[in-house]
Amino acid sequence: MNKRSMNSKAMIVGLDGATMELIVPWVEQGKLPNLGRMMREGVWAELRSSIPYITTTAWSSFATGTNPGRHGILDFYQHRPGSFEIYLANSAVRRGKTMWKRVSEQGKRVCIINVPMTYPPEQVNGVLISGMDAPGTASHFTHPEHLYEELKQALGEYTIDVHFEEIVKGAVPRLDDYRAYLDLLCAMVEKRLRATEYLMEKYPWDLLVTVFVETDRIQHLFWKFMDPSHPHYKRGEAEHLGDAILKVYQKCDAALGSLLDRAGENTDVLIMSDHGAGAGERVFYVRPWLLANEYLILKASSASGNGLKRFAAKSIRSLFAVAKAYVPKNLKQRLKKQIIGRDKYISMRLYGGVNWERTRAYSEGVCGNIFINLKGREQHGIVEPGEEYKKLLKEIAEKLLQVKDPKTGKSVVTKVYRKEELYHGPFLDHAPDLTVEGFPEYHCRGDSFAKGASDEEEALFGDAPMSGTHRLNGAFLALGPHFKRGMRLSDAAIVDILPTVLHVLGMEIPGSIDGRVLTDALTEEYLRGNPVKTAEEEAEAGEQPLGDGYSDSEREQIEERLKGLGYLE
């Protein structure tokens, strides 16, 4: 590598959930001047996320440059094949070296701030503040450990994340509640900016990564105020809050301007998001669909003959309620012994009432993840590998593609993926056998039932709890001495950021990752003097640690935060 490359610096600013579908028109209208400058003077693209395009999976792919089949994170909750052990996803259970660990190992300095999926904090050559998977400021969420107290003394109390539980949980909020949340998010952007500026001035760095989550939070709750096509749009409310999402984007744009000034012209600056965003209207619940189609059988069903319909007609409850009602006391006691603390609740909720001797498929998680009860892999597997397994996958996929929403008459499922279509690597066997993707206005969820349903059909669908949801394509922009000017890229994926950043920092590209250097984004002059070089590297083995490392109280804090953000029910 040449001298200029070896002395390069890179800064990545994450705008969680940001979408080019909003950025481009707002730039054209002159409302986002700093993002506009990056589009004019640098490169940009829609950034293809991971599947599923959720926080835990996407940020893990960003951090490691690998697909979920390599890093092993596929949902907010993980379960170990062959057992009912449940644990939360965080950096302790993810495999693969992170970008900042690789940079640290080359003797370069890093400054990592608020990136999701960074708890527990890694020992890096520099400073690191964990993101939303940190339980709270009472935990050891920084490296070095004293960094939190230093920030607190210099800037005041540090806040990891914010949520507005009353709005998410469906209580009838006033417009003032929404305004208060908007003000809180704008204040959080300012706080994060001050923390980033303090650290980038106080500590030397070659790689800086800071993430603003506020773009994601505002879109989840305020999309209905901006989008006249949304079924919950009301003109009177839009007059007050229709520009709320724009205001948060503008706050982040102003923060970007400040960071660009501090970074200087010789630093490569990259903007990225973990996924995009769009309107969320309806939810399709995969678990009751499996029940209705007799792939998933409850113990109640074996006793009543037609348990689901009778059960649904009275009231649709979570499987935890079924487990409490029907699981024998001795089994409950065994579960309590086998599954520690709060994990017991989640495991019983998902698995406690299931008749495994008759169940062929089950679902779990915040996405439409379906697992086959496969003999030899699952603890009580009954489906034979080979032809029986393949036939069942085909049958379930074909039926799902025919599902229609009785309220709207629309088709619900646009694609059903087999895991081999999406993933490769040592964790392929951990991945769901089928992943269900809905049309844009539909979110497919695997871990719960529709609330308040009065019959079987209603149990399968519900209005989305939040008016905005995730989309596959996020945002990517890059500006700096190594990047071309005024160019739109035709293809860029979230796994490509790690190798691209390593390359502009003068490092070789590890052969064990899935991403590629975005050479079409880099200047020909730079590439001539700095051809991409790949380093041989042995891929990690496929065993994950035995748990997430949280205590019961810490796990409860994380679960409550995720519920407050609408990710868990």
Q: Is the pLDDT of residue 421 over 80?
A: yes
Output the CA–CA distances (angstroms, integers) from residue 117 to 91, 132, 307, 434, in the order listed: 5, 7, 40, 24
pLDDT, residue 396, reads: 99
508 in helix, strand or coil? coil
Q: What is the per-residue pLDDT across 261-284, written as a single tens digit (0 to 9) for each?
A: 999 999 999 999 999 999 999 999
Q: Is the pLDDT of residue 255 over 80?
A: yes
As a whole number, mean pLDDT of residues 445-471 equals 77
> Which contacts qualify for 105-111: CB closer than 8 Å, 24 or more apart?
106/505, 106/507, 108/206, 108/207, 108/505, 109/203, 109/204, 109/205, 109/206, 109/207, 110/205, 110/206, 110/207, 110/208, 110/209, 111/199, 111/200, 111/203, 111/205, 111/207, 111/208, 111/209, 111/210
| Residue 2: closest CA among 506, 470, 558 | 506
pLDDT, residue 314, reads: 37
Please state, in angstroms and rounded to a whole number, the distance separating the CA atoms of residues 518 and 65.
13
pLDDT, residue 82, reads: 74
Question: Strand pairing of 126-130 and 434-438?
Answer: unpaired
Q: Tokens 């949280």 identify what position?
A: 550
Q: What is the per-residue pLDDT across 46-67, written as a single tens digit (0 to 9) for each?
A: 999 999 999 999 999 999 999 9
Output the CA–CA distances (angstroms, integers) from residue 32 to 183, 253, 264, in the order listed: 19, 6, 20
The pLDDT-based confidence of 210 (bands split at 50, 70, 90) is very high
As a whole number, mean pLDDT of residues 320-332 equals 45
Pick the more confident residue, 254 or 552: 254
pLDDT, residue 563, reads: 60
What domains appear along the chain, each with residue ranges and CATH number? 3-278+470-564 (3.40.720.10), 282-463 (no CATH)
Q: Are 214 and 248 in contact (CB under 8 A)?
A: yes
Pick the more confident residue, 554 or 53: 53
Q: Is the pLDDT of residue 233 over 80?
A: yes
Question: Is the omega angle on the peptide bond into residue 531 within 30 degrees of 0, that is, cis?
Answer: no
As a whole number, mean pLDDT of residues 335-355 equals 60
pLDDT, residue 310, reads: 44
Please state, in angstroms and rounded to a whole number, the distance separating the CA atoms of residues 84 and 347.
6
Q: Is the pLDDT of residue 27 over 60?
A: yes
pLDDT, residue 545, reads: 54
As a whole number, mean pLDDT of residues 445-457 equals 64
Give 345's DSSP letter. Answer: H
pLDDT, residue 364, reads: 86
pLDDT, residue 135, reads: 81
Most confident of 4-8, 421-425, 455-459: 421-425
Q: What is the per-residue pLDDT across 527-545, written as a single tens digit (0 to 9) for each?
A: 999 999 999 876 665 555 5
Q: Are 98 and 196 in contact (CB under 8 A)?
A: no
538 in helix, strand or coil? coil
pLDDT, residue 353, reads: 84
Q: Is the pLDDT of residue 516 over 70?
A: yes
pLDDT, residue 522, reads: 99
Q: Are 507 and 533 in contact (CB under 8 A)?
A: no
pLDDT, residue 336, reads: 44
Q: Which amino acid is at 495?
A: V
Question: Is the omega angle on the peptide bond into residue 204 within 30 degrees of 0, that is, cis?
Answer: no
pLDDT, residue 569, reads: 59
Q: Is the pLDDT of residue 2 over 80?
A: no
Pick the more confident residue, 452 or 560: 560
Q: At what angle do helices 319-326 and 342-351 cross, to 10 degrees?
A: 90
Q: What is the per-residue pLDDT across 464-511, written as a single tens digit (0 to 9) for each?
A: 988 999 999 999 999 999 999 999 999 999 999 999 999 999 999 999
- Give the lowest-confidence range in 68-77, 310-319, 382-391, 468-477: 310-319
Task: Name 217's Cβ contacts closer than 8 Å, sequence gap at least 6.
Answer: 16, 162, 163, 185, 565
Q: What is the per-residue pLDDT across 79-134, written as a single tens digit (0 to 9) for each?
A: 777 777 777 788 888 999 999 999 999 999 999 999 999 999 999 999 999 998 88
- Give the lowest-confidence range in 139-148, 193-202, 524-533: 139-148
H helix or E strand, kind and range, residue 478: strand 473-479
Q: Is the pLDDT of residue 451 over 60?
A: no
pLDDT, residue 297, reads: 94
| Residue 471: closest CA among 36, 58, 114 | 58
Please state, in angstroms and rounded to a whole number, the distance separating the CA atoms of residues 238 and 478.
33
pLDDT, residue 134, reads: 85
CA-angle at 268, arms to 494 and 146, nearest 5°: 80
Q: Round the average pLDDT of the chain to a whole number and report it.
A: 87
- Give the lowest-confidence range in 48-52, 61-65, 172-176, 285-289: 172-176
Q: Give percent of the chain above pLDDT 90.
A: 69
- Give the lowest-confidence range in 110-114, 521-525, 544-548: 544-548
The pLDDT-based confidence of 456 (bands split at 50, 70, 90) is low
pLDDT, residue 318, reads: 41
Q: Is the pLDDT of residue 247 over 70?
A: yes
Pick the more confident residue, 83 or 388: 388
Q: Is the pLDDT of residue 339 over 60?
A: no
Pick the more confident residue, 306 or 453: 453
